[in-house]
Structure 1
Amino acid sequence: MSVPVINGVELSEAGNGPLLLLGPSLGTSAAALWEGSAALLAEDHHVVGWDLPGHGTSPAPDDGFTMAELGRGVLAFAERTLRDRGEASGTFVYAGVSVGGAVGLQLLLDAPERVAAAALLCTGARIGTPDGWHERAAMVRAFGTATMVEGSAKRWFAPGFLEREPEVARALLASLEAADTTGYAAVCKALATFDVRDRLGTIRVPVLTVAGVADEATPPSDLQTIADGVPDGRAVVLDDVAHLAPAEAPAEVADLLRAHLEQGAVITESQRTAAGAVVRRQVLGDEHLDGAGAAPTSFTRDFDDLVTQYAWGSVWSRPGLDRRTRSVVALTALVAQRDHDELATHVRAALRNGMSTDELAEVILQTAVHCGTAAAAAAFRVAQETLRADGVEL
């Protein structure tokens, strides 16, 4: 078993809004499946599709893989794309169909900090049965993916779609026939052991599920199970749709995704750095940031950007604690570390964040219990010297 190499295709111009990563169904390419919806989403997002091993742009695998390993391969592709955008530690929004939706669940479980919001279409927390997937893998290895075309044409599309949209259907069925036998069979084997129903409750990212009323492979009940199992889930069922919703109803899918993904709006690295700079100045003050020697140099600029983005833009900007409470945490940690320069800075910040001098003394007194009396004594000395230098009466 090994992590497969995943490649993809640009479905919109780069840099056009936050990154939206689109995942395919087994036997399809991302371009053939998502072309219609991607064109409608391109105005608001940088839309990039990824392809399964042995499908579309991705090479055939050298070995088998689990769904977790497939998820790691997709995450590596997403991270390469983010680096190309200049957002190495950034996040993305995600939408995937069938096995692409299952990969979305895997990403939400294994890398929740990278996914801002997710839409899972025509999929399940478990899809099919192990025996069914092993049988399909054996058939494809023996006779090729062309043997799957007739059955897939019946499963993939709602009644009447082949007649209404023959070119779309032909492109999808051609991508199935062109898929590598080894890659197709490897995905089947990965799906045979995939079952995350008991882990749905740990997902904290907003999730939209979209089902097709005519989908026999992953019926609406499978999507409802996901929406009910995650803490923040919503289920939608589309009429006249079977298993490939983005191809069958591109406008409806694009509208649903646009509305949902706005809830998990991606913060780019530049936006996070800018927001962090504002919070940093509000907490530490103009004097600290504009004083002599405070401006970053060419030697320290990258580190200064890292601190601004990570500490101030990602952590201090979170809504979970007020700034006064965050000051209590920071002071305690700095007392424990005996980092007296930073302690003096955060003594001033604590007062700026609404802490009184009596409360400051109480915090340092509390640290004596857990950090030691010597550390607390040194902290009292630093705090007192800092406050007196600033003209604070004690």
Structure 2
Amino acid sequence: MSVPRLVGTDFGGPPGAGLLILGPSLGTSATALWGVAAEQLAEHLHVVAWDLPGHGRSPAAGFRMPDLAAGVLALVDEIAPHAPFHYAGVSVGGAVGLQLLLDAPERVPSAALVCTGAVIGRAEDWATRAATVRESGTAAVVEASVQRWFAPGFADRSPALVAALVEALRATDDESYAQACEALADFDVTAQLGRIAAPVLAVAGIDDGATPPESLERIASGVQHGRLVVLDDVGHLAPVEAPGATVNLILDQLLLRDPVYTAGMSMRRNVLGDAHVDRAIAGTTEFTADFQDLITRYAWGSIWTRDGLDRRSRSIVTLTALVARGHHEELAMHLRGARRNGLSSDEIKEVLLQTAIYCGVPDANTAFRIAAQVLADCHGSEGGR
């Protein structure tokens, strides 16, 4: 097949910013799927979202997955010939991202793959859906698509967003939709994931039945440098259901920050672990964003990175201060961090005994209770590896 012509929606971006290409889900358009998130991303990057053939603004065409990857490269070359670009894609758009990472690794330094898989669904189910749409049009799959797209309750909370996506689905060319089904039926790069060396963020929705979290975990564990984040209360269309979390995760994946922030984020991950930090990033809102930036930049980037004390010593100081102030939630978090920084259970016991004298027995009593549970959890997870 020839390379399909893919039309992109340019959301703009700061002068000289890096290029981010956003890929679609089946039956959606660039604006309906990525609109809110793309506008936020465009504060940091030059953002272009492309439409599948026969979807949104792209003309109908025959295609398979490698053709779509070639079409994305052609679209990028119209914008910035032969330039590297970051990529984020949902569902079939995420599958195209995997194809790009395999076919043109020199062009894609980093990718965020959202609600997708190295193989998606069963070939026979895609063949059935293609036949249904060819016979009865995309209107025949609207109800099933809405059920598949969203976590429970989202459609009731956000009827306007759902209506825009349904409109995009109804407007999709029937044959192009069927072609996309057949492209997905043929797609399986599971055995090739180990070839992908670029950093890959895999984002799953906990309520996604089409590409459940284990589908994204397979990508994260299969590539050379992968990371999995699972979003609560999200189905199959994370950029619509959780635009803020999706944006924050993409920006963090691309390390689009200054050196102090980047060093702070690296230290924060080293001490607290990726899972904790990813939950914090995904939960960041417009209201809490400045506070998260302050923590990363000043606590982790300016203090924890200093050479005057090693990480073990900083953990000892931090545990003592948290016991003294009674910050029990933070204490549990930093107990886990202390273990990651190399403190043994016996050394943590000695720190807490010291706090009993200088901070007070009641405070130390509570700290020992919290530490007993945290350390038991740590020993359990270590024994399971």
Q: TM (normalized to structure 2)?
A: 0.65
2-structure distance, mates of 1:57, 1:41: 21
Q: Tell me, what secondary structure is at the counterpart of 1:113?
A: coil
State the secondary structure of the residue aligned to 2:110. Answer: strand
Q: CA deviation at 1:263?
A: 7.1
1:191-210 deviation line (CA, Å, top 9, x unaligned): 11100000000001100000
3-state SS of 2:109 partner? strand
C-alpha separation in 2, matches of 1:67 and 1:217: 18
CA contact (8 A) 2:127 2:182 kept: yes
Q: Which residue of 2 aligns with 1:203?
A: 196
1:13 Cα deviation from its structure 2 partner:
4.0
CA contact (8 A) 1:116 1:264 kept: no
Shift in CA distance, 212/218, structure 1 to aligned 2, threshold 3 Å: same
Paired residues of 1:12 and 1:38 also in contact (CA < 8 A): no
SS in 2 for 1:159: coil
Residue 216 of structure 1 deviates from its aligned partner by 0.2
Following superposition, the deviation at residue 182 of structure 1 comes to 1.1
- Aligned mates of 1:11, 1:149 — CA distance in 2: 28
Where in structure 2 are the equivalents of 1:218-237 lying within 5 Å?
A: 218-237=211-230
In 2, Cα distance between the equivalents of 1:263 and 1:234?
17
Show the counterpart of 2:101: 108
Matched to 1:38, the amino acid is A
Q: How many Å apart are 1:79 and its aligned residue?
A: 1.5
1:96 aligns with 2:94: no
Q: Which amino acid aligns with 2:9?
A: V
Runs of 4+ in 1 over 6 A off after TM superposition: none
Q: Structure 1: how far apart are the matches of 2:77 and 2:199? A: 21
Mapping of 1:8-19 within 5 angstroms? 8-13=8-13, 15=15, 17-19=17-19
Is 1:182 aligned to residue 180 of structure 2? no
Q: 1:262 aligns with which of 255, 260, 281?
A: 255
Q: Structure 2: where are the runs of 5+ without partners?
A: 259-385
Cα deviation digits, residues 98-137 of structure 1 (max 9, x gap): 0000000000000011111100000000001111111111
Q: Check the 8 A contact 1:206/1:264 in 2, yes or no.
A: no
1:84-163 aligned at under 5 Å gives the runs 88-163=81-156
Distance in 2, matches of 1:123 and 1:178, equals 23
- In the TM superposition, residue 65 of structure 1 has moved relative to its aligned partner by 2.0
Amino acid at match of 2:69: G
Aligned residues: 258
Tell me what 1:164 maps to. 157
Q: Distance in 1 between matches of 2:14 and 2:135?
A: 41
CA shift, 1:15, in A, is 4.0
Asked whether the 8 Å contact 2:76–2:83 carries over to 1, the reply is: no
Name the SS of the counterpart of 1:119 in structure 2: strand
Percent of paired sites with the same residue = 57
Distance 2:240 2:94 in 1: 15
Bigger CA drift: 71-80 or 5-14? Answer: 5-14
Which residues of 2 match residues 1-394 of structure 1 at below 5 A? 1-13=1-13, 15=15, 17-61=17-61, 64-82=62-80, 88-262=81-255
Tell me the TM-score normalized by structure 1: 0.64
RMSD: 1.5
User: Given the superposition, is the C-alpha separation of residues 263 and 111 from structure 1 closer, same or farther in structure 2, using an over 3 Å criterion?
Assistant: farther
